[in-house]
Structure 1
Amino acid sequence: MKYTQLGRTGLKVSRLVLGTMNFGPQTDEADSHAIMDAALDAGINFFDTANVYGWGENKGRTESIIGNWFAKGGERRDKVVLATKVYGNMAGSGTAAAWPNHDKLSAVNIRRAVDASLKRLQTDYIDVYQFHHIDRATPFEEIWQAIDVLVQQGKILYVGSSNFPGYKIAQANETAARRGGTIGLVSEQCLYNLAERRAEMEVIPAAQEYGLGVIPWSPLHGGLLGGVIKKEVQGGRRASGRAADTLADPSSRAQIQAYEDLLEKHEVEPGEAALAWLLTRPGVTGPIVGPRTAEQLDSALRAVELELSEELLTGLAEIFPGPGPSPEAFAW
């Protein structure tokens, strides 16, 4: 495994991030534990989760699965850089769900959410505590005041953002700089892949300017970049969700077909190429991979060692040109 520093920090993390969103909803606890063991054995030390994972009546379940894995010992917790998130509503069902202050980024919810996550995760600290979404109603002065207390208490070490636009990254870190205390955001987790490159316009430049590590989520764009057409032809798993919607458009399907044809010519697996491409992009710390099975984890690991030729990179850029830098992407 290869490692890099997370943004401007001294924290060293693996170039692949283990995403755990499938743990619980798609993958049972025993298999989830096996995947985490395999990831750790392969050198992946950066694990990402969120308090809402498990979803619906089972929200919080994913953190609990991770906590039970930590409880097995074997220095599991010490070896892992643990990232989780706050924002989503964690109130229980029934009348409790209607009460305010159980979501978003108010000081009261941040305090409540951290303590609840620590309990589920069976740990006394979180390495990277991430804001899952912007909160338009809560000023950053309040957010950073709450974070300062948690850092002083030793409950969190670093803070990251997720799904932030570029101007909010700037606003958050400028506010942190004026206040002193916390060093501000150190990472941004955003939607970024070959087929979805809008982050290159504002988000990634802002992250680079302020020293945030970029952590792309959905690196295969919901399976679209994982050889979906080939799998359909071979009678495998059919596209669903975002991938199915995209393939329903003839021009988009032609684009994905060209992508798969290019990679077949170069004898490279599509999913591995999509991950390897992200590892070549400026500012990227490492993409989040969310394996449902051990086999999917093995495929992701091969991407770290995959070297894409200049010819292949040029071909990928022709198929997925991206928006270009801002403001030239929309102005002169």
Structure 2
Amino acid sequence: MLGTMNFGPETSEQDSRAIMDRAHEHGIDFFDTADVYGRSTGPGGRAGDGPGTTEQLIGRWFDTGGGRRDRTVLATKVYLPMGDRPNENRLSALHVRRACEASLTRLRTDHLDLYQMHHVDRSTPWEEVWEAFHVLRQQGKVLYFGSSNFAGWHIAQAQEAARSRHHLGLVSEQSIYNLMNRWVELDVLPAARRYGLGVIPWSPLQGGALGGVLRKQREGGASRGTTGHGAGALAGHRDAVAAYEQLCADLGEDPAHVGLAWLLAQDGVTGPVIGPRTVAQLDGSLRALSITLDRDTLARLDELFPPPGPRGAQPAPEAYAW
């Protein structure tokens, strides 16, 4: 699944278009974005970047023709602030309606295939949220709805509220999930499996910390894993990451590809969101589809990056029980 968070602030429009075209060539048709994407995330950010920039870039790409929109499963998100005024964030009925219309305009399309809540809204009743979403679906502006960054009980709450209104409910959950961050295994994955949701991991390489960061440091190359949440994760797991990179070297595989292959092997995972900054990164990531991790390798990865919960406990969600 193609993540577009870098498009605009980190990757030029020309390069972003090349990445999207190459994704289609590879048969990757699910594109994930968000209304807030486009903010500069570092010193390389371009002038004029801001929320909505990425959606606008994708919309202009659709306008170049060639059936690009028809061949794309388009997902965007709503919740995070798009301004400073009331009802310019969260999931109130007014903001959901305005945000959807604005995303459709920026993306130059008449409908969204998947509209995702970027976060749970603890202040808006589920009755209001589902009514707003139901209206969008009735109008043909959205086909399906998903969540992101939900706990397992949030998924259950959302699904039961939808069921009580005879609505379709959620079809997917997008969570941070990787070898170094496995908390979703305790309740999010079991809840998603129980309710039939697809799981879409974001940050599959923990901000680059699982992408061969130590090897790149030795070679004198810059790496995303040395900044942001990747740097924090590396600081607490340097020995494990070193052993992980050695394991990958023994397998003859790139650490980034092994990390993606591990996610693809997890029960309930539909597919990770990858956010390439170059065409070469996109091409290289496809190697993960050809990697099969045997039982011994999977066990070794569990030793290096243990699953959450007490050792010897029942598999989640029964890990809490005795």
Bin the TM-score by the shorter chain: over 0.9
Residue type at the aligned position of 2:260? L
Q: TM-score, normalised by structure 2?
A: 0.93
Q: TM-score, normalised by structure 1?
A: 0.90
Question: SS state of the match for residue 69, structure 2?
Answer: helix
Q: Is the Cα–Cα contact under 8 Å of residues 3 and 276 in structure 2 kept in the other structure?
A: yes
- The answer for the alignment partner of 1:6 in structure 2 is none
Percent identical pairs in the alignment equals: 57
Tell me the distance in 2 between the aligned counterparts of 1:209 and 1:133: 20
Q: Is the Cα–Cα contact under 8 Å of residues 114 and 145 in structure 2 kept in the other structure?
A: yes
Question: SS state of the match for residue 196, structure 2?
Answer: coil
- The answer for the alignment partner of 1:226 in structure 2 is 211
Which residue of the other structure, out of 218, 230, 234, is the alignment partner of 1:247? 234
Tell me the distance in 2 between the aligned counterparts of 1:327 and 1:173: 18
Which residue of the other structure, out of 273, 297, 306, is the alignment partner of 1:312? 297
- The answer for the alignment partner of 1:269 in structure 2 is 254
Which residue of the other structure, out of 151, 154, 158, is the alignment partner of 1:168? 154
> Cα deviation per residue 1:137-195 (whole Å; 9 max; x = unaligned)?
10111111111111111000000000001111001010111111x31000000010111
Tell me the distance in 2 between the aligned counterparts of 1:140 and 1:327: 25
Q: Is the Cα–Cα contact under 8 Å of residues 180 and 233 in structure 2 kept in the other structure?
A: no
Tell me the distance in 1 between the aligned counterparts of 2:233 and 2:149: 22
Tell me the distance in 1 between the aligned counterparts of 2:9 and 2:242: 31
> Cα deviation per residue 1:189-239 (whole Å; 9 max; x = unaligned)?
001011110000011110110010000000000001001001101111142
**Structure 2 gaps, min length 5:** 41-48, 310-314
- The Cα of 1:88 is off from its aligned counterpart by 1.0
Whose relative contact order is higher, 1 or 2, with alpha carbons under 8 Å and at least 6 apart? 1
Which residue of the other structure, out of 51, 68, 74, is the alignment partner of 2:60? 68
Residue type at the aligned position of 1:274? G
Between Structure 1 and Structure 2, how many residues are aligned?
307
- The Cα of 1:315 is off from its aligned counterpart by 1.5
- The answer for the alignment partner of 1:51 in structure 2 is 35
Tell me the distance in 2 between the aligned counterparts of 1:310 and 1:267: 17
- The answer for the alignment partner of 1:27 in structure 2 is 11
Aligned-pair RMSD on alpha carbons?
Answer: 1.3
**Structure 1 gaps, min length 5:** 1-16, 92-96
- The answer for the alignment partner of 1:123 in structure 2 is 109
Residue type at the aligned position of 1:217? W
Tell me the distance in 2 between the aligned counterparts of 1:243 and 1:49: 21
Deviates more, 1:112-121 or 1:263-272: 263-272
Shift of the 326–281 alpha-carbon distance from structure 1 to 2, 3 Å rule, reads closer
Which residue of the other structure, out of 74, 77, 84, is the alignment partner of 2:76? 84
- The Cα of 1:331 is off from its aligned counterpart by 5.2
Tell me the distance in 2 between the aligned counterparts of 1:221 and 1:247: 9
Q: Is the Cα–Cα contact under 8 Å of residues 206 and 233 in structure 2 kept in the other structure?
A: no
- The answer for the alignment partner of 2:100 in structure 1 is 114
